[in-house]
Amino acid sequence: MNVFRTSLKPLMPRFFRLSPHLRRRVALAGIVAAAAMASVVPAAQAADMPFEISLTGQPTRYLVEGRPYAITGHGSARFGMSLVEVRAAVARDYPETVSPPHEYVDPDSGAIDLTVRVAALPRVPAPTPVLLRYRFGSVSGRLVAVDVEWTTDGPSTPAQRAGLVEAARTVGATMAGWRWPPLATRRGHLLPDGTLIVFSGKDFEGAGAEIRLLGADVDVEARERTATSPARAREHRVASPGPSQLRLRVVANVDRPDPYPAMDPASAAASTAAAGAYRVSGFRSALFGMDEAALRGAIQRDFKAAPEAIRVVEDPKAGKRALVLRLDQLEPGPVPATVTYILEQATGRLTHVNVVWTTDAAPDDALRLRMADAGGQLARAFQQLGWRPGTTVSKMEADNRQALLFAGIDAQGGALELRISGVPMQRAGQAPVVPEGPAVLRAAFYANTTK
């Protein structure tokens, strides 16, 4: 493996539209769709993997129903309704709106988003108005998903963040007391960017729901390595300054989605503002611009790595020097990972980090699907960050054997790229491609794409 791989294909200044049919056997089609659509895909946390949990936003009181929970839509709007029927349902549910309903038609597929802003939802106290986005599939033309978003206007105050947490608790209470399929829910899961998945679940019919908080203060209880390890003291993490958002998303079918349109430009800009301007600053504690001594200290803090575990690789022709660390476990990958920190020899400063999970040469189908699921988790997390408008990309490569799950450029020119290969893939209208060789998931972080 070439640890100095630095190629970053130019990021096209537009959003790629993808519409593959998701099937469990054809994992990557669903991942690319998830990267483009941020779909709800619940996953059980493996008991033997490091993890963090947060009780922030979890309901403390709820009725225990005991019956199976069924996700059928939102309010009077039911999955499978036409645009005309949903408009009528919205009028019944919300006779008074802050702004009139607005339709966005995707220029590529003709699929439609219907958005409306209301002052509040019944029985859900929240510090901001509510934006409801009804999303219609590009194939069926019927309602397939609904987003319900509470977003602060500008940087949030402590009172607003606390209000959104309380609203998350209220919404979560409506789902907590019901019966869900085994291993189909997760709660209190922190994504790599600090976004909190308060709850996600898939019901017995395959519909999904997810509650997530962005830009909220959270209390985190971390365990050392496994579910049986002693818990460390709870840690209070204050969100970085910026907007905050609570989002409830419901989708008609997690495993076989009818793709809905890419978000219209105005909504995309609003979502980016809600997430806050993201900066690709390095990887964990290793920040771009660090010299080797500082970098070694950061690596040891992040992974408790012994000095002798950090291998040095030189490439005089490329003018680079790398520190390489192999990890037995690194979430969310199901196999060992290699982290490569690349320094420019001319300056001695960190400019690039590669994180690569690689299976053996012939993994079984189950492991390939676990790699695909890990890629989907990362893609959904990266999709939620605040990137420079028009620079995000998700696409399947022409050979149908690898995919760019996500790439984005921040406002300062830093970039992130997530690629996967060696997992089942299928392009719409074509036969699935049987994977060969190892499954490889690679995340690359760049200080500057212009150099």
Chain segment 227-248, per-residue pLDDT in tens: 555 556 678 888 777 788 999 9
Q: Which of 286, 278, 282, 281 is nearest to 305 (CA)?
A: 286
Task: Give the C-alpha separation, 281 to 289, whole Å.
Answer: 9
Neighbours of 432 (CB within 10 A): 16
Find out whether 150 and 167 touch, Cβ atoms under 8 Å.
yes
Which alpha helices (H) appear in 334-397, and where do they start and end? Answer: 365-383
Task: Please report the pLDDT score of residue 379 as a whole number.
Answer: 83
Which stretches of 126-256 are assigned E, i.e. beta strand? 130-136, 143-151, 185-190, 196-202, 208-214, 218-222, 235-237, 245-251
- In the chain, what is the straight-line distance between the N-terminal and C-terminal CA atoms, in Å? 23
Task: Please report the pLDDT score of residue 114 as a whole number.
Answer: 92
Token look-up 């209190």 returns 188
Task: Please report the pLDDT score of residue 45 as a whole number.
Answer: 33
What would you measure as the largest C-alpha separation in the chain, in angstroms?
69
C-alpha distances in Å from residue 98, one per residue of 95, 115, 237, 357, 400? 10, 11, 34, 48, 45
What is the residue type of 242?
Answer: G
**Residues 6 or more apart whose Cβ sits within 8 Å of residue 446:** 6, 8, 280, 351, 352, 414, 415, 416, 417
What is the residue type of 415?
Answer: A
Tokens of 341: 């920190």
Mean pLDDT of the chain: 80
Backbone angles phi, psi at 38, to 5 degrees: 50, 50
Please report which confidence band the pLDDT of residue 6 belongs to, taking 50, 70 and 90 as the band edges.
Answer: very low
Neighbours of 136 (CB within 10 A): 26
Comparing 7 with 287, the larger pLDDT belongs to: 287
> What b/e string do you get for 139-169 counting C-beta neighbours within 10 Å, with b at 16 or more?
beebbbbbbbbbbbeeebeeebbebbbbbbb
Could you tell me the strand order of the sheet in which 196-202 lies? 99-105, 112-118, 130-136, 143-151, 245-251, 208-214, 196-202, 185-190, 52-54, 218-222, 235-237
Backbone angles phi, psi at 149, to 5 degrees: -125, 135
Q: Is the predicted pLDDT of residue 47 greater than 80, yes or no?
A: no
Comparing 84 with 269, the larger pLDDT belongs to: 84
Q: Among residues of the chain, what percentage have pLDDT more than 70?
A: 80
Q: What is the DSSP letter of 193?
A: T
